[in-house]
A and B are shown apart, each in its own frame.
Chain A
């Protein structure tokens, strides 16, 4: 059973990718919609299996670590697998209606979409550093391809820039992996932890961790390495922007977080942890400030991603040499932030796409009077905004509450200020959009109405991100399940 689920998560997306590569847009869409149903069922199956029996290590194809593909199937991993299934299927569904079938190059959307999904699953489940690298590269390359589908000269420029950043990040990461292999003789994260229990920390292994985290921070667009993100996310087609902001940046962050949680205590130090937190805070302030000043709607949303990513990096200081309860709170808070931002940002980009379709302009001030004619998409945008402003009852609020508790509990009160100011700054850019849409213009109002299905998808995602706060205890309880150590190195 487990074998089938694993194969279903890692290899069937590749099969869909190859299949859609051979087809035109319309057939690709049909295959994808069938594939989405299959993938959602498989993801749900694994989540149910783990939430019933707890997590486990799994050596794919019967090869055990350190040789084979080692998978770490725990509550966190399956939660993200399920999140990916939800967000990706929403984007796939939306894209099928949104993307215009006439342009010949648009048919490549489907294979790239499936390569991306497969890479994401590989990252969530991967247990060793090299397989994580493979997953990461699969994600980056398909993401770059998806940005380039935008077709305009600007899209090409943005995607080249994105490609350079992604390659540079991969290089740094790979260098770190090589150092780890040289020092510990294993690529499995669990193997390294096991080795460190028996031996003293070898000199230079901090450098390996620093290289890997820096490379991953570049891929996650942590301030000041964020410059590639807004052009790429802003110019891509809306479903693509949604995928990139919701999931792609989370994958590299997920690896960085895993590394830090397992290896941070022995290999990291306090100054580094505080520095990363400081950069995260700078991202929150700077990203929000720039989001307030953008003239284009999607650029506002893209800069908001830069800011929201900053919150994630507060994980580093809040889990370094603090009590166990604070570590747990910080981990739970960050996990909720990842999930709620993924849902809210996907909803926001898709809704922004609808608003742009209906006004025919990508500018913020073109939204005048929209609240009268397109309340449904605007409402989705607004609800997603509630989560970004981390106001109750959204998942963003639950995350902020846990992070506040973690900061107060560890005596690091300066992050409290960052969290509160960050919330107010995000309100500034979200309310700017509300304000523009409530303005009544004297000009004639003629708005194009997008198809109903395009409007429903962002609403579902926005409602999920809003309702997440109410059920966050249940969502987090899956992560606290016992982890069965069978098959560990």
Chain B
């Protein structure tokens, strides 16, 4: 038992213990709760930074024990897990700051932050899980701990959305459990391994492997919101803005996408998945989801719902990236895991700011909001251009890498999908930007609040600006070491030459 075995456990424990402490704190303990929240988030970020540096140098972090006879509980840090862990650690810190401001003076804050920390603990567990069994453990924990956040407001509408969410995710979880148990029955307990396990496997089990793959993707596809399993996501937008921002744009959908990448890369292996003929259909499904959800986004009048359909579309980029059989495209898909998270959280923070400060929920109410809230609107604009894929922002790096990767393996149709999707992105974001900056504001905002010196509360003002700056930085500095792009290249290098 060295320190290296304990670091992943500690990273998990920081938010778990924070959650228990917060539950125990009285509702009125506002300062102490904020201190616990921010302290745990900073501590976790520190631990993740240590692990990122260690993984880069090839240090192994991990712990495992037999949990149920025949299966082990494994926590392990590899390059890919650090990508997801890093994403959730950074964004947890920012979202906590944001949420403290957002929920000021509202009831049930102790409950909210308790479950919020529990969610982050779950995403950390998902990131660090070393086999499918452990992954499933935290995947279901994420479902359970997000439910109270979706229904947080306690209105009939929120409860209805919560119900849809639970039906989708628990059914997906049951399918996933079936797949994992079946796979365990066929081949035993497999740890995640770069390059996968099934290259040159026994042809007798190929049929089972194909069926299991379909079940795995179906189970994970619910959270990843792949068409036709995406119905819960737009509904879940009734949740408070920080929940939509971190969980629905980042943690929950990413958990699904992360799982699919794990299955393709580290359980089956790209070679074996491709040899079984599983990648091509997945690529088509992802491409269809990208276009379909973008078209649906065009017709949404509610800002958060438009962003939700945009999420459905963007998450499938990741899946499209890994299902193209070639290293460069895989880099594009993986890097989007981070890029989409940063861009989308910016947009959701901004949407929350408009709602809290001016009472704006619908797109046609946004006329002229740019002059009233310039900081937020600049952040929103950067996020939107990033999504469209304008150089040199984050989204451009993704699309460029993925497009050139697809061309390298002669899948030209992917480029068509990327271009079409970018045009659609422009079609649903540019009208919003036009309203923000060029239309005259209405006489009264729907529900305006004054916060003093800044355009809105300082807790709400800075997080979107910071993530907007990050959107620019990850694009401009993409070639530096430890940028998301370089890190994705490291992952793919280890995957394609294990």
**Chain A: residues with CB nearer than 8 A to chain B?**
329, 332, 369, 371-372, 375, 379, 386, 389, 391-393, 398, 400-402, 404-405, 408-409, 416, 420, 423-424, 427, 431, 434-435, 438-440, 469-470, 472-473, 476
Listed residue (A392, A400, A420) with the most chain B CB atoms within 10 angstroms of its CB: A392
CB pair A386 B144 closer than 8 Å: yes
CB pair A434 B147 closer than 8 Å: yes
Top 10 A-B pairs ranked by shortest CB distance? A440-B154, A392-B137, A408-B185, A404-B181, A398-B68, A420-B174, A473-B66, A438-B151, A391-B140, A472-B68
Answer whether residue B69 sits at the interface, using C-beta atoms and an 8 A cutoff. Answer: yes
Answer whether residue B166 sits at the interface, using C-beta atoms and an 8 A cutoff. Answer: yes
Q: State which residues 151-200 of B face A: CB under 8 Å.
A: 151, 153-156, 159, 162-163, 166, 170-171, 173-175, 177-178, 181-182, 184-185
Answer whether residue B92 sits at the interface, using C-beta atoms and an 8 A cutoff. Answer: no
Query: Roughly how many angstroms separate A10 CA and B188 CA in the complex, as a whole number?
Result: 44
Chain A residues whose C-beta falls within 8 Å of the C-beta of B166 in the assembled complex: 427, 431
Query: Roughly how many angstroms separate A424 CA and B153 CA in the complex, as a whole number?
Result: 25
Query: Roughly how many angstroms separate A392 CA and B23 CA in the complex, as a whole number?
Result: 21
Query: Roughly how many angstroms separate A423 CA and B169 CA in the complex, as a whole number?
Result: 13
Closest-CB distance, B209 to chain A (whole angstroms): 15
CB pair B151 A435 closer than 8 Å: yes
CB pair A405 B181 closer than 8 Å: yes
Given A427-B170, A435-B163, A473-B66, the answer on whether A401 and B144 have CB atoms closer than 8 Å is no
Q: What are 9 A-B interface contacts by the 8 Å CB criterion?
A: A329-B70, A379-B23, A391-B143, A392-B141, A398-B67, A404-B177, A416-B181, A427-B166, A472-B68
Chain B residues whose C-beta falls within 8 Å of the C-beta of A424 in the assembled complex: 170-171, 174
Answer whether residue B362 sits at the interface, using C-beta atoms and an 8 A cutoff. Answer: no
Nearest-CB residue, chain A, relative to B175: A420
Chain B residues whose C-beta falls within 8 Å of the C-beta of A472 in the assembled complex: 67-69
Listed residue (B153, B155, B178) with the most chain A CB atoms within 10 angstroms of its CB: B178
Answer whether residue B116 sits at the interface, using C-beta atoms and an 8 A cutoff. Answer: no
Closest-CB distance, B235 to chain A (whole angstroms): 15
Query: Roughly how many angstroms separate A427 CA and B172 CA in the complex, as a whole number?
Result: 13
Closest-CB distance, B139 to chain A (whole angstroms): 9
Chain B residues whose C-beta falls within 8 Å of the C-beta of A439 in the assembled complex: 154, 156, 159
Nearest-CB residue, chain A, relative to B159: A435
Answer whether residue B111 sits at the interface, using C-beta atoms and an 8 A cutoff. Answer: yes
CB pair A438 B159 closer than 8 Å: yes
Query: Roughly how many angstroms separate A404 CA and B175 CA in the complex, as a whole number?
Result: 13
Give B136-150 as 1s and 0s: 1 = Cβ < 8 Å from A's Cβ atoms. Answer: 110011011001100
Chain A residues whose C-beta falls within 8 Å of the C-beta of B148 in the assembled complex: 434, 438
CB pair A473 B171 closer than 8 Å: no
Q: Which of A375, A379, A391, A470 is close to B67, meaning CB atoms less than 8 Å apart?
A: A470
Chain B residues whose C-beta falls within 8 Å of the C-beta of A375 in the assembled complex: 23, 110-111
Given A420-B174, A431-B163, A439-B159, the answer on whether A473 and B69 have CB atoms closer than 8 Å is yes
Closest-CB distance, A381 to chain B (whole angstroms): 13
Given A386-B144, A438-B154, the answer on whether A405 and B184 have CB atoms closer than 8 Å is yes
CB pair A469 B69 closer than 8 Å: no
Chain A residues whose C-beta falls within 8 Å of the C-beta of B298 in the assembled complex: none
Answer whether residue B108 sits at the interface, using C-beta atoms and an 8 A cutoff. Answer: yes
Closest-CB distance, A442 to chain B (whole angstroms): 11
Chain B residues whose C-beta falls within 8 Å of the C-beta of A440 in the assembled complex: 153-155
Query: Roughly how many angstroms separate A440 CA and B70 CA in the complex, as a whole number?
Result: 45
Q: Which of B69, B108, B140, B153 is close to A392, meaning CB atoms less than 8 Å apart?
A: B140
Query: Roughly how many angstroms separate A379 CA and B24 CA in the complex, as a whole number?
Result: 12
CB pair A423 B174 closer than 8 Å: yes
Give B66-85 as 1s and 0s: 1 = Cβ < 8 Å from A's Cβ atoms. Answer: 11111101000000000000
Chain A residues whose C-beta falls within 8 Å of the C-beta of B60 in the assembled complex: none
Query: Roughly how many angstroms separate A402 CA and B184 CA in the complex, as a whole number?
Result: 11
CB pair A409 B174 closer than 8 Å: no
CB pair B177 A420 closer than 8 Å: yes
Q: Given contacts A389-B170, A439-B159, list 15 more A-B pairs with CB under 8 A.
A: A369-B154, A371-B111, A375-B111, A391-B144, A392-B136, A393-B137, A401-B71, A401-B181, A409-B185, A424-B171, A424-B174, A435-B151, A438-B159, A438-B162, A440-B153
Query: Roughly how many angstroms separate A424 CA and B143 CA in the complex, as a whole number?
Result: 13
Chain B residues whose C-beta falls within 8 Å of the C-beta of A369 in the assembled complex: 154
Query: Roughly how many angstroms separate A279 CA and B162 CA in the complex, as a whole number?
Result: 33
Closest-CB distance, B24 to chain A (whole angstroms): 9
Nearest-CB residue, chain A, relative to B70: A405
Closest-CB distance, A476 to chain B (whole angstroms): 6
Q: State which residues 1-40 of B face A: CB under 8 Å.
A: 23
Closest-CB distance, A354 to chain B (whole angstroms): 17
Chain B residues whose C-beta falls within 8 Å of the C-beta of A391 in the assembled complex: 140-141, 143-144, 173
Answer whether residue B431 sits at the interface, using C-beta atoms and an 8 A cutoff. Answer: no
Give B119-148 as 1s and 0s: 1 = Cβ < 8 Å from A's Cβ atoms. Answer: 000000000000000001100110110011
Listed residue (A371, A404, A438) with the most chain B CB atoms within 10 angstroms of its CB: A438
Closest-CB distance, A142 to chain B (whole angstroms): 35
Listed residue (B67, B141, B178) with the most chain A CB atoms within 10 angstroms of its CB: B67
Chain B residues whose C-beta falls within 8 Å of the C-beta of A392 in the assembled complex: 136-137, 140-141
Answer whether residue B374 sits at the interface, using C-beta atoms and an 8 A cutoff. Answer: no
Given A408-B185, A409-B185, A416-B178, the answer on whether A402 and B140 have CB atoms closer than 8 Å is no
Query: Roughly how many angstroms separate A484 CA and B344 CA in the complex, as a whole number?
Result: 65
Query: Roughly how many angstroms separate A379 CA and B148 CA in the complex, as a whole number?
Result: 11
Chain A residues whose C-beta falls within 8 Å of the C-beta of B70 in the assembled complex: 329, 405
Query: Roughly how many angstroms separate A391 CA and B66 CA in the complex, as a whole number?
Result: 18
CB pair B185 A405 closer than 8 Å: yes
Q: Which of B68, B147, B174 is close to A473, meaning CB atoms less than 8 Å apart?
A: B68
Query: Roughly how many angstroms separate A393 CA and B139 CA in the complex, as a whole number?
Result: 11
Query: Roughly how many angstroms separate A424 CA and B169 CA in the complex, as a whole number?
Result: 11
Answer whether residue B277 sits at the interface, using C-beta atoms and an 8 A cutoff. Answer: no
Chain A residues whose C-beta falls within 8 Å of the C-beta of B141 in the assembled complex: 391-393
Closest-CB distance, A460 to chain B (whole angstroms): 15
Closest-CB distance, A318 to chain B (whole angstroms): 14
CB pair A332 B69 closer than 8 Å: yes
Given A398-B67, A435-B163, the answer on whether A420 and B178 have CB atoms closer than 8 Å is yes
Answer whether residue B446 sits at the interface, using C-beta atoms and an 8 A cutoff. Answer: no
Closest-CB distance, B159 to chain A (whole angstroms): 6
